[in-house]
Structure 1
């Protein structure tokens, strides 16, 4: 099946969320609570289910993790060029630069689930587990000017790390999970991605797009075009193939995480610019992801 058709249901859910928010059916208060519920209650079970019973080859995943680190750090460094280029103040630069390297996990798992099923989710979950601490450290460091306390707080409370660590622990230990308990976990996991994608769409914000046109184009070009090319180079260099190569390339094409906006607001960054980065990268990814996947296929 053509990648555009594989991705279409996920992008339609994002557009559905946007339409619901614009119509007033979803209020700002409900959206805030829904995002929190999905992020902390539904998302960890999705990761746990994918990893707890997966057939994992940790040695084979090392080149994928190394390539993920390469394209993430390269995108971060390229994004830093926006500060002198557009003469951005530190709060605006730190908030917006997240658009060069942070990734939307909801879209990651939805896309890999559509392309490769549960093995795809388990594989990209390993990559997410390695990259989440990296991107959080980079983001919090720039927003807080190296505040170690803020960095530790963000990492400890991250539900993606909880879900991945618990799933890996269950897998490695050989723990037998009672069927009724695993079924309950699966019910929660099944709800995570569709609701998560709807909240991504509902959270799109279009204020201030014109004012930040230059930096937005710069960061989105890095995130959606340069990063995939760097990831492709790293994958070829490390001879990645199969599902590991697929997971790496999908990760490199993802739009910016909605949590970039939340983090920017919480740490006194420029929330409007962060929201604009999330919005434009999400919309642009609806075009770039199918195109790149078709080309790389």
Structure 2
């Protein structure tokens, strides 16, 4: 319990710094917007590039690992999306952003340190394998769904969809960071030290900047009127995702190390990228930002429960 608390509390503290800074006019709203753009377009892509370019690609890349984790993530996405649309009658664009909150767990910020503290540093290989395709898979689904919804609203034809999706995908700096990092990894190219050091400087700023900016955003977005939708996101991300991952991992005989990594990653709260996605399209930002904060708080207890079952 203390190890999980030690992993989660820093997230709250950095978010709290951002909240207090904006609440008491120590940090302007325009600065928050700039900070989110910096983290979204520069710092996080640098972090992903470095992670992908140095990842050891080996035996850990097993189909059962991807099937168990992303099978659970996809079901969580559908539950949150259809629940928002059919139960709460939100617009399709809002529903897709809400569904994305059930799809994109906070694996990098919480999943890796929780796994490391619970099972040891050697247990995180499966976590990084999952992270290696996480943004590509999640943004691929999210962008495709959002572009379909937008084409439907604007009267565009489905023949235009592949071009829209590819254009949106390859304008996303985070996906470009992943693809270019994997390309460097596969080619065996050795980058100059001064260049990698510069990327590392930016990468170290990525998560703190995104969390601080999220705190500033939360200062203006309140959960009033959205509590049922927030509860749906929390249910999908903290219960449906890990439970489905557990089931698929058991049925597919996923090895123990990968099973622990997959379930622990699936048990994490919605990540900062869920707000970044909602902010990209200017939809459902209040409910998504609130779900990140509330989901992270609830995950203190649910993660403890999942880790107890894993042990």
Q: TM-score, normalised by structure 2?
A: 0.79
Distance, in Å, in 2 between the alignment partners of 1:112 and 1:275 is 19
> In structure 2, do the counterparts of structure 1 residues 72 and 23 end up closer, same or farther at CA, with 3 Å as the change threshold?
same
Q: Is the 8 A contact 1:67 1:235 kept in 2?
A: yes
Q: Is the 8 A contact 1:206 1:279 kept in 2?
A: no
**Aligned Cα RMSD in Å?**
3.1
> In structure 2, do the counterparts of structure 1 residues 250 and 295 end up closer, same or farther at CA, with 3 Å as the change threshold?
same
- What is the Cα deviation at residue 92 of structure 1? 4.3
Partner residue of 1:22?
A: 23
Which of 217, 221, 224 is equivalent to 2:231?
Answer: 217
Matched, 1:240 2:254: yes
> In structure 2, do the counterparts of structure 1 residues 272 and 200 end up closer, same or farther at CA, with 3 Å as the change threshold?
closer
Distance, in Å, in 2 between the alignment partners of 1:273 and 1:209 is 6
> In structure 2, do the counterparts of structure 1 residues 113 and 217 end up closer, same or farther at CA, with 3 Å as the change threshold?
closer
Matched, 1:134 2:148: no
Distance, in Å, in 2 between the alignment partners of 1:151 and 1:238 is 32
The 5 A counterparts of 1:89-238 are 89-103=91-105, 107-114=106-113, 115-116=115-116, 119=125, 122-128=128-134, 129-142=136-149, 144-145=151-152, 148=161, 150-204=164-218, 207=221, 209-238=223-252
Q: Is the 8 A contact 1:54 1:119 kept in 2?
A: no
> In structure 2, do the counterparts of structure 1 residues 141 and 278 end up closer, same or farther at CA, with 3 Å as the change threshold?
farther
* Structure 2, unpaired ranges of 5+: 153-157
For these two proteins, the number of residue pairs brought into alignment is 294
Q: Is the 8 A contact 1:83 1:93 kept in 2?
A: yes
* Structure 1, unpaired ranges of 5+: none
Distance, in Å, in 1 between the alignment partners of 2:308 and 2:3 is 7
Deviations 1:179-204 (A, max 9, x none): 22222222222222222222233322
> In structure 2, do the counterparts of structure 1 residues 29 and 170 end up closer, same or farther at CA, with 3 Å as the change threshold?
same
Q: Secondary structure of 1:2's match?
A: helix
- What is the Cα deviation at residue 162 of structure 1? 1.4
Distance, in Å, in 2 between the alignment partners of 1:286 and 1:206 is 25
